[in-house]
Structure 1
Amino acid sequence: MYQEERLVSIINYLKKNSRISVEEICHLFGVSRDTARRDLVKLEEQKAIIRTRGGAIFPSAHNEIKDYTKRLKTVSKEKRMIGKKAASIINSGDRIILDASTTVQACAEQIESEECTIITNSINQAEALSVKPGVKIHLLGGELHKEHRFLYGSSVIEKLSHYYVDKVFIGVVGISEHGLTIAHEEDGMVKRKMMERAKRVIVLADHTKIGVTDFYQFAEIHDIDLCITDKTPSKQFRELLANNNVDLLIVNELEDME
Structure 2
Amino acid sequence: MVSIPVTSDSDQLAVRKSRRPDGDRLSKSARHQHIISQLTAAPTLRASELAAVLGVSTETIRRDLMELQEQKLINRTYGGASRPFALEPSLVDRKRLLIVEREAIAAAIAELIQPNEVLMLGAGATTFHVARRLAATARDITVIVNDFAIAGALATNGSIRILCCPGRYHATEGYVFGTQTIASINSYEANRAIVGATGVGARGINDADEEAGAVYGAMVKRAAEAIIVADHSKFEQRALTVFAQWSEIDRFVTDRPPEGALATAVREAGTELIVAPC
TM-score (norm 1): 0.78
Deviations 1:97-137 (A, max 9, x none): 00002111111111122201000000100111111010000
Q: Which residue of 1 aligns with 2:211?
A: 186
2:228 corresponds to: 203
SS of the equivalent of 2:265 reads: helix
Aligned to 1:144: 169
2:275 aligned partner: 250
Shift of 1:177: 1.1
Question: In the alignment, what sits opposite 1:68?
Answer: 91
Superposed, which structure 2 residues align to 1:97-176 within 5 Å?
97-111=120-134, 112-176=137-201
Counterpart in 2 of 1:90? 113
What is the Cα-based RMSD across aligned positions, in Å?
Answer: 3.1
Cα distance change, pair 19–165 in 1 and its aligned pair in 2 (3 A) = same
Q: Which has the larger radius of gyration?
A: 1
SS of the residue corresponding to residue 258 of structure 2 reads coil
SS at match of 1:73: coil
Q: Deviations over 1:69-115 (max 9, x none)?
A: 23223352000100111012111000000000211111111112220
Query: How many angstroms apart in 1 are the aligned matches of 2:219 and 2:130?
Result: 17
Instruction: Within 5 Å, give how 1:204-223 maps onto structure 2.
Output: 204-223=229-248
1:238 aligns with 2:250: no
What SS does structure 2 have at the residue aligned with 1:89? coil
Shift of 1:174: 0.9
Q: Give the SS at the match of 1:110.
A: helix
- Per the alignment, in what secondary structure is the counterpart of residue 150 of structure 2? helix
Letter in 2 for 1:92: P
Question: 5+ unaligned residues in a row in structure 2: which ranges?
Answer: 1-24, 39-44, 49-55
Q: For the structure 1 residues 147 and 75, does the alpha-carbon distance in structure 2 shift closer, same or farther, using more than 3 Å as the test? A: farther
Distance 1:249 1:146 in 2: 33
Query: SS at the partner of 2:88?
Result: coil
Summarize the Cα distance change of 1:219–1:45 in structure 2 as closer, same or farther, 3 Å threshold. closer
- Aligned equivalents of 2:102, 2:62: Cα separation in 1: 42
Give ranges in structure 1 of 5+ residues lacking alignment. Answer: 21-27, 30-35, 254-258
What is the CA-CA distance between 1:218 and the residue it aligns to? Answer: 0.8
Give the aligned partner of residue 32 of structure 1.
none
Q: Deviations over 1:201-233 (max 9, x none)?
A: 011111111222222111111110000111122
Evaluate the alpha carbon distance shift between residue 211 and residue 80 of structure 1 in structure 2; reply closer, same or farther with a 3 A threshold.
same
**Taking every aligned residue pair, what percent have the same amino acid on both sides?**
22
Q: 1:114 to 1:246 in 2, by over 3 A?
A: same
Distance in 2, Cα, partners of 1:225 & 1:50 = 33
- CA distance in 2: counterparts of 1:45 and 1:123, whole angstroms: 40
SS of residue paired to 2:237: coil
- The answer on whether the counterparts of 1:50 and 1:56 sit within 8 Å (CA) in structure 2 is no
Q: Specify the alignment match of 2:250 in structure 1.
A: 225
Cα distance in 2, alignment partners of residues 217 and 62 from structure 1: 12
